[in-house]
Amino acid sequence: MPRPLGLTSLQILAAIRDGSTYGLDIVAVTALPSGTVYPTLGRLKRSALVRSHWEDQRSAEKEGRPRRRYYELTADGARALAEGSARVAQAAAALTPGAGGATG
């Protein structure tokens, strides 16, 4: 069984789901450093949770910037995000006072 996704991977998957589809946009909305986002995107791609494609060079040149690699969730990525989100919500609920999940 694969290891559950961590919070960083879940944040990145959620950003892609919500419409942030290229690296620097993901960096901006998650507030994660680029040195975290780009390696994580590579791992997510190798795990088939996201797929990517490069935009056309002419489109980028029209806007006077480098080409962007755009990311999208795969069906497995959407499923992993839903499962991870549920796991995090359950953990957060256990930490809420009076939720009955923690004693002490």
- Answer whether 33's CB lies under 8 Å from 27's CB: yes
Inside any domain, residue 18: yes
Inside any domain, residue 37: yes
Query: Which spans in 18-74 are helix H?
Result: 23-30, 34-46, 57-62
Inside any domain, residue 70: yes
pTM of the complete model: 0.88
Q: What is the CATH number for 14?
A: 1.10.10.10
**In this predicted model, what pLDDT tens digit does every residue of 2-56 receive, in sequence order?**
788 999 999 999 999 999 999 999 999 999 999 999 999 999 999 999 999 999 9
H or E element in which residue 90 lies: helix 75-95
- Total number of domains constituting the chain: 1
pLDDT value at position 103? Answer: 52
Inside any domain, residue 98: no
**In this predicted model, what pLDDT tens digit does every residue of 50-101 receive, in sequence order?**
999 999 999 999 999 999 999 999 999 999 999 999 999 999 999 988 766 5
